Structures are given as C-alpha cells and as structure tokens.
Structure 1
Amino acid sequence: MAVKNLKDLYLDQLRDLYSACKQSMPVVTDLGRAAKSKELSEALIAGNEGIARGMDVLASICASHDIDPTGEHCRGMEGVVQEARKHALETEFADEDAQDAAIITQYQRMAHYAIAGYGCVRTFANRLGMNEDGAQLQECLDNTWEGDRHMTKIAEGGVNAAAQDGR
C-alpha cells in the first residue's frame, strides 16, 4: 500500500501495531511461565489479556475502515521479542530473582514499543477527526501505561531487591 497521506499512514500503523501485539503474546505467555514470583506471573497473564483486548480494538477499528488488520508484519516488535527471549528465557540464570528482574525488563521494553504505537495512532486518529477511534486508542494506551506502571511496582516492591541480594 502506497502511503499518500496521514490517513494512509494511520491505517498502515494500525496494522503494524496489530502485528506487534500479536507477536508479543506468545513470548509474554512464556515469560509468565518462567516467572518465579506469583505476583509477576499473574501480572503477565493480565498483560496478555490486555494485549488481546487491544488487538480486538485494533481489529474493530481496521474493520470499520475496510482493511484487514493482519496485512502487515512489524519487524520492530519481531526484534524486541527476539531480545526478550534471549535475555529473559534463554540466558542461564543462577538466581531466579535475577531472572524475574530480566522478565520485567523485557516485558517493559515490549510495553514501551506498544505505548509508542498506540500514542501515534491515537494522535493520527484525533488529527483526522476520527474521535471514536481516538477514544478507543486512548483507552488502549492508558491500559498499556497502567500495565507498565504495575511492572515497575513489582520490580521496586521486591523483585529487584531480591535479585540484588541473590536470595
């Protein structure tokens, strides 16, 4: 698809963000299984539920514009997912708390990628006068930020200290 204007860019980025979310789900599941902290594991399960809800919103918005949300492959998230696997799942950890800290790090990197994506498409939608799209995307952005803040609380609430102590 040739991008001729902001609307074309908006539609392209919706599909790219859908792809990013879809690629992140399997690794978030794997991160949740690897987490030793029950609180972290539960947060990752909730994170995946949030990603799925975001994908539903993206698919609905795409459908309202007569485009297929699966028509793009996000290479950026592909790289972030590879890094998450490498640094949180494939690395040998002598301490499970250090692995939990790595899991949080990698999850937050994926979340920040999604935050950037949702922020951009929300801004495009609002500029284009697509206020309903913008409101739905703002909700996805807010939910993603909340998940990121929750991970920070888990890290600061004990995981990082336990990893530092090597308990």
Structure 2
Amino acid sequence: MQSLKDVYIHQLQDLHSANKQALKAVRNLVNAAASDNLKRALERGVSGIEDGTGKLETLIRAHDADPDGAHCKGMEGLVREARSHALKEEFDDDAVRDAVIITQYQRMAHYAIAGYGCAAAFAKQLGLPNEAQTLSGMLDAAHSGDETMSDIAEQKVNQRAAL
C-alpha cells in the first residue's frame, strides 16, 4: 500500500468481506433466538448488513477495485466465536442463549463500527465527501443496531437469564 487511498480501498474491501461473513452468522442467530423481539432486531440487522454490503460494493467498484479483493480475518474470528458460543453450545435456558446471541452480535457490530468510522475518516481526508457521507450513514446504522441490542438485553433478556 503506497497511499491513504490504497489503505482506504483495502478497508472498504475488508468491510465488504466482514459483512458477507457476518451476514451468514446473523442469519443463523435469527434462527437460534428465542425472544421474538430479539428475532425481529436480528432480522433488521440482516437487512442492514445486506444494505451495507451493497453500498460497499458500489463504493469499491467506483474506484475500479474488486469488492472481493480482501478477506477479513478479524470477522472470521468473530463469526467462529459466534458459532461456537451461541449456536453450538448447549443451553438449558433460552434467555441465557439469547444473552449470548446479543453478546456475539454486538462484538460483530463493534468491529463494523470501528471499520466504518475509519473508512469515513479516510474518505473525508481524501476529499470524497459523498463517500464519507455514505460511510457515516452506515456507521450510524451500525450504532443504532448496537443500541437496540443493548436495550433488548437490559430491558428483558438479561433479567430473564439471571433467574
């Protein structure tokens, strides 16, 4: 990588890879969740990830780059953890599984938040205001999903899991 633009494009590709991996995992989390409220929030997460993946692909292609030009090892690890802890683990209580699902979702969301924030800052520095605005919107959506999960956990799931 020779320039900030090279770093920027690589970060977009990394986020594209991360989203594709997270999408599969979150779809599985939807199926594993017991709480209807959590299921709906996860389904909105799936829609948001799909939307973000499409936007990333458009941004990457605008720079004549391949959206599949990177593989995100960070999200690979987070997805592996989500499968291990939330999907393969045996639970005696659905609320406990839901608490773990929220935890794993939020870990993936925090990775996306960091990535979108960095990419938006790079786009701004590179004089790409439209791309910075798109990425900032994606960052806001990731924050919103994270806050929704915190609300679900704090208002119901964690209380039921603690019983």
1:21 aligns with 2:28: no
Select the residue among 128, 131, 147 that pairs with 1:130: 128
Tell me the distance in 2 between the aligned counterparts of 1:21 and 1:108.
14
Aligned to 1:105: 103
Deviations 1:104-134 (A, max 9, x none): 0000000000000000100000000100000
Aligned to 2:138: 140
Runs of 4 or more, structure 1, over 3 Å off, are none
Aligned to 1:41: 39
Q: What RMSD, in angstroms, separates the aligned Cα atoms of the two structures?
A: 0.5
Tell me the distance in 1 between the aligned counterparts of 2:98 and 2:61.
38
Give structure 2 stretches of 5+ with no counterpart.
none
Task: Provide the secondary structure at the position in 2 that maps to 1:105.
Answer: helix
1:17 is matched by which residue type in structure 2? L
Deviation at 1:68, TM superposition (A): 1.1
Tell me the distance in 1 between the aligned counterparts of 2:140 and 2:99.
24
TM-score by length of 2: 0.99
1:50 is matched by which residue type in structure 2? G
Task: Map 1:56-75; keep pairs closer than 5 Å.
Answer: 56-75=54-73
Tell me the distance in 2 between the aligned counterparts of 1:12 and 1:143.
21
Tell me the distance in 2 between the aligned counterparts of 1:9 and 1:129.
15
Task: Provide the secondary structure at the position in 2 that maps to 1:36.
Answer: coil
User: How many pairs are equivalent?
Assistant: 163
TM-score by length of 1: 0.97
